[in-house]
Chain A
């Protein structure tokens, strides 16, 4: 009796999770993909016209704001990758400088506890042309200093990048610090005995050993960039014009503002495709690396 019960109960307990996965993830993704082939406006319309089932994607391809969104995705990705680089440098320094590790980690990590909306509002204030940093620099006598980035289409994206780096820096530092700590202590002393220089130690030994950590950081960063929405709303609300739109912003806008489910679904499907394109090769490499590690260990 007990044995049979022990077979049924776990399966029963897993039912809610399976149902959630099947309905809210698999089903919902399928629904959105289906919708992207229809002409649904504010309410779902379940008929597909076989002659123009790619209509929404065709509209996307000819949409300037969508092109801007995709371009911004790359700009934001490349720009915020600086957070990984800087995070590694900071982690390496904090690691060498044993004193103050707790202090520096606390300082670098606190922005992560703050929402992106608050982060955006904080940085909007810093970028305020009349009263913010620009004004401060002017008062110092540097009259030509321009820090009015958010009001210019060319520079607004850089403002968002700075705020994103501010928010995420400590996170990547914490991941890098964990990676550095997992490196065998003997490597450092062996390198010292062999007289390996500081630069070579890091570029030829430590960084290659931390490939796995860098990869994790890269995956998380790219996934975060694809999802970038809150920070855009809080800092520029997409403006000036559509210059700071991102795919996530575009999709929400198409749904909430323009009330066009079909169009929004098509944008969301492209977002999913981008996520898969980033994600699958990285997962494959990660799995391969882990296997190599296990082989080396065993």
Chain B
């Protein structure tokens, strides 16, 4: 709280230094921090509640007081959520969904990044006459509500005999993300100097060789950003998995929803919360592990839009 003193020390950042000095009233700083902390509590408390609930026994939960710490910490709800909880008729826990989501994730990543990086590269660095009109169409497609293309995609995937498999889910993910990812890649690649490409073409570098030997090695950062975007999108998706997945191929979110929402009779809140946390862990790991890229990913996705 001794911030105002900092204002008198010459700050290397002009903006920051002057603003510190401008804040004459100490109270406003405190009010600031109090308000920020209150909002942070609003955001953080639900997670805390879910976290402690997942370690409690049902006896303690039935006694009320959702904010209390578990009197005895138990891992049983987590174990039951992972391997015993019932979704409809089958009682195999959410682990099935976890592996399904993994199986969906990898082909989705390969298909969507493969398709959109090449498209972005061709549009950004090669002379394609209709590039701008195509970019505009992609821009429009990025905002189309999924419902309007959902039913024809069901018909199409059924005709291709992949409906109900993880491939259908992966292909639909790749299709749906293609416009946005292409725009992101294109915006990244367009800043690469044209001379570089011209020189490479002179050296008889072909389209694909330039991509593989020059462009891909330069794309590390943008690949991480897009990868995070794809992982969180695919993992957190519900509707595509629900519509295009079959009995054995439903992703984790669908299994979780079936488990918790259609629950009848004795509700085990601790197991439900453990199942919810299990579903949330993979994207949270990505978020806390690669936070900087995550922020860039979501804002890149947004601002280009």
Q: Spell out A's residues near B (CB within 8 Å).
A: 2-3, 5-7, 9-11, 13-14, 16-18, 20-21, 23-25, 27-29, 31-32, 35, 44, 86, 89-90, 93-94, 96-100, 104-118, 121-126, 128, 131-133, 135-136, 139, 166, 169-171, 174-175, 178, 185-186, 188-189, 192, 198, 216, 219-220, 223, 226-227, 229-230, 233-234, 237, 248, 251-252, 255-256, 261, 264-265, 267-269, 271-272, 275, 279
* Contact residues of B between 189 and 231, Cβ < 8 Å to A: 201, 204, 206-208
Contact A122 B256 (CB under 8 A): no
Contact A279 B153 (CB under 8 A): no
- Closest chain-A Cβ to B53's Cβ sits at a distance in Å of 7
Contact A93 B149 (CB under 8 A): no
Contact B207 A125 (CB under 8 A): no
A99 vs B141: C-alpha distance in the bound complex, in angstroms? 41
Given contacts A23-B156, A28-B149, 8 further A-B contacts (CB under 8 A): A10-B128, A13-B119, A14-B134, A107-B40, A115-B283, A118-B276, A125-B272, A132-B66
For A179, the closest partner residue in chain B by CB is B303
Q: Which of B10-18, B71-79, B83-91, B162-170 has 4 or more CB atoms under 8 Å from chain A?
A: B10-18
Contact B53 A107 (CB under 8 A): no
Contact B276 A20 (CB under 8 A): no
Other-chain contact of A125, B15, B28, B151, B273 (Cβ < 8 Å): B273
Q: Mark B271-299 against chain A: 1 for CB-CB distance below 8 A, else 0.
A: 01100110110011011100100110011
Please indicate the chain A residues that have their CB under 8 angstroms from the CB of B65 in the complex: 135-136, 139
Contact B151 A255 (CB under 8 A): yes
Contact B305 A248 (CB under 8 A): no
B182 within 8 A of A: yes
For A9, the closest partner residue in chain B by CB is B207
Please indicate the chain A residues that have their CB under 8 angstroms from the CB of B39 in the complex: 86, 90, 108, 169
Q: A131-B66, A267-B147 are in contact. Are A189 and B15 (CB under 8 A)?
A: yes
Q: A25-B141, A32-B152, A111-B43 are in contact. Are A14 and B128 (CB under 8 A)?
A: yes
Contact B115 A17 (CB under 8 A): yes
For B114, the closest partner residue in chain A by CB is A16
A86 vs B19: C-alpha distance in the bound complex, in angstroms? 22
Contact A271 B201 (CB under 8 A): no
For A272, the closest partner residue in chain B by CB is B148
Q: A136-B67, A166-B43, A227-B145 are in contact. Are A17 and B178 (CB under 8 A)?
A: yes
Q: A24-B153, A227-B146 are in contact. Are A136 and B64 (CB under 8 A)?
A: yes
Contact A121 B276 (CB under 8 A): yes
Q: A135-B64, A170-B43, A233-B257 are in contact. Are A13 and B49 (CB under 8 A)?
A: no
Please indicate the chain A residues that have their CB under 8 angstroms from the CB of B147 in the complex: 248, 251-252, 264, 267-268, 271
* Contact residues of B between 213 and 266, Cβ < 8 Å to A: 232, 235-239, 243, 253, 256-257, 260-261
A234 vs B204: C-alpha distance in the bound complex, in angstroms? 56
Please indicate the chain B residues that have their CB under 8 angstroms from the CB of A248 in the complex: 145, 147
Contact B257 A234 (CB under 8 A): yes
A170 vs B44: C-alpha distance in the bound complex, in angstroms? 12
B110 within 8 A of A: no
Please indicate the chain B residues that have their CB under 8 angstroms from the CB of A97 in the complex: 29, 32-33, 36
B69 within 8 A of A: no
A93 vs B38: C-alpha distance in the bound complex, in angstroms? 13
Please indicate the chain A residues that have their CB under 8 angstroms from the CB of B178 in the complex: 17, 20-21
Contact A125 B49 (CB under 8 A): yes
Contact B201 A6 (CB under 8 A): yes
Contact B43 A135 (CB under 8 A): no
B35 within 8 A of A: yes
Contact B207 A110 (CB under 8 A): no
Please indicate the chain B residues that have their CB under 8 angstroms from the CB of A219 in the complex: 305
Contact A94 B145 (CB under 8 A): no
A265 vs B287: C-alpha distance in the bound complex, in angstroms? 37
For B63, the closest partner residue in chain A by CB is A131
Please indicate the chain A residues that have their CB under 8 angstroms from the CB of B46 in the complex: 122-123, 126, 166
Contact A94 B239 (CB under 8 A): no
Please indicate the chain A residues that have their CB under 8 angstroms from the CB of B102 in the complex: none
A13 vs B41: C-alpha distance in the bound complex, in angstroms? 50
For A279, the closest partner residue in chain B by CB is B143
Other-chain contact of A255, B40, B66, B150 (Cβ < 8 Å): B150
Contact B49 A126 (CB under 8 A): yes
Contact B238 A230 (CB under 8 A): yes
Contact B145 A216 (CB under 8 A): no
For B14, the closest partner residue in chain A by CB is A185
Contact B298 A29 (CB under 8 A): no
Contact B283 A94 (CB under 8 A): no
A251 vs B146: C-alpha distance in the bound complex, in angstroms? 11
In this complex, which of A90, A96, A220 has the most chain B Cβ atoms within 10 angstroms of its Cβ?
A96
Other-chain contact of B232, A113, A186, A268 (Cβ < 8 Å): A113
Other-chain contact of B64, A106, A139, A255 (Cβ < 8 Å): A139
Pairs A-B, 7 closest by C-beta atoms: A185-B15, A115-B236, A9-B207, A113-B287, A10-B126, A28-B149, A28-B152
Contact A121 B256 (CB under 8 A): yes
A220 vs B302: C-alpha distance in the bound complex, in angstroms? 7
Please indicate the chain A residues that have their CB under 8 angstroms from the CB of B257 in the complex: 117, 121, 233-234
Please indicate the chain B residues that have their CB under 8 angstroms from the CB of A126 in the complex: 46, 49, 66
Q: A2-B204, A13-B118, A109-B295 are in contact. Are A28 and B66 (CB under 8 A)?
A: no
